[in-house]
């Protein structure tokens, strides 16, 4: 088992701006949640570039794994809950260790998509839900969207921000959004805002989307 420590820098754009650095513990074994995936690098950079929006917000990260986006949110002053599948004890333990390493006080808990444990009902309302590379196994998409839809209904003004590899076009995501009463309010090429030094180390067609509850759908379902 090979454990490595990777450092991720986020550079401020003015003299008065302080740059930040996040250290992550990775483990090169066959466990998806112990590796920093490119989608996570892109989502973390987006959080950093929109840090004023994240400061003082309540954030929940789904399928957080090594948790880079959530850690950046915590560094800029958000109240952060990091989650991964309840069965992934090693991943959840790594998340706690990474928080300690970065001197960040995040809440870490098991949250399995499509499962309704008591803990999901105890969550505080969230302003922003994050998910990096959580749309990679199409057999889990419905469970993920069911959880996202539930969380957005508990916090109707919240937004789900996710980055994913756009392997077969945006159609499947669009279909699922309609099915679960959601709509896309922003879509970006993940490389369009990534600093060149980070972009050159990554490849693929990665999109970032912001998804909210479709209030028209809510009104229609209440009428019927
Ligand atoms: C491709 S990894 C992405 C990890 C991290 N977000 C990143 O981008 O570096 C997918 C993550 O989703 C988690 N995951 C997979 N299925 C899940 C489920 N049903 N419920 C909750 N988490 C799940 C995995 O444990 C893993 O951490």
Give tens-digit pLDDT for 127-171: 999 999 999 998 999 999 999 999 999 999 999 999 999 876 778
Residue nearest to atom 12 of ligand 1 (CA): 63
Token output for 139: 């057999």
The angle at the Cα of 148, spanning 179 to 221, to the nearest 5 degrees, equals: 45
- Ligand 1: which residues within 6 Å by Cβ? 32-33, 36-37, 39-40, 63-66, 84-85, 88, 91, 112-113, 132-134, 136, 140, 143
Nearest CA to ligand 1 atom 13: 63
Residue 64 alpha carbon, nearest atom of ligand 1: 6
Tell me which residues of the chain have a pLDDT lower than 50: none
pLDDT given at position 75: 97
- Residue 28 is predicted with a pLDDT of 76
**Whole-number pLDDT of residue 20:** 95
**How far from 106 is each of 77, 167, 173, 189, 221, CA to CA, in Å?**
11, 33, 30, 29, 36
Give the residue whose CA is nearest to atom 25 of ligand 1.
33
Ligand 1 center to 111 CA (angstroms): 10
Q: Transcribe 169-191 into DSSP letters.
A: -SHHHHHHHHHTTEEEEEEEETT
CATH of 3-223, one of 3.40.50.2300, 1.10.1370.30, 3.40.190.10, 3.40.50.150: 3.40.50.150
Are 10 and 194 a contacting pair, CB within 8 Å? no
Write down the pLDDT at residue 172.
84
């Amino acid at each position: 088992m090979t454990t490595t420590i990777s450092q991720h820098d986020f550079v401020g754009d003015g003299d008065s701006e302080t740059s930040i650095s996040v250290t992550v513990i990775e483990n090169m074994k066959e466990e998806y949640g112990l590796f920093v995936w490119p989608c996570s690098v892109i989502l973390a950079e987006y959080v950093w570039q929109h840090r004023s929006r994240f400061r003082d917000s309540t954030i929940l990260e789904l399928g957080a794994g090594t948790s880079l986006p959530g850690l950046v949110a915590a560094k800029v002053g958000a109240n952060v809950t990091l989650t991964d599948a309840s069965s992934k004890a090693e991943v959840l333990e790594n998340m706690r260790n990474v928080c300690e390493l970065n001197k960040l006080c995040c809440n870490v808990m098991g949250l399995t998509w499509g499962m309704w444990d008591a803990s999901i009902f105890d969550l505080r309302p969230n302003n922003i839900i994050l998910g990096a590379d959580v749309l990679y196994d199409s057999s889990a998409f419905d469970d993920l969207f069911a959880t996202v839809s539930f969380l957005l209904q508990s916090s109707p003004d919240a937004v789900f921000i996710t980055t994913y590899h756009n392997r077969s076009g945006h159609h499947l995501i669009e279909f699922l959004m309609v099915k679960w009463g959601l709509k896309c309010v922003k879509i970006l090429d993940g490389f369009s805002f990534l600093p060149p030094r980070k972009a050159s180390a990554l490849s693929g067609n990665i999109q970032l989307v912001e998804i909210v509850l479709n209030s028209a759908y809510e009104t229609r379902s209440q009428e019927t």
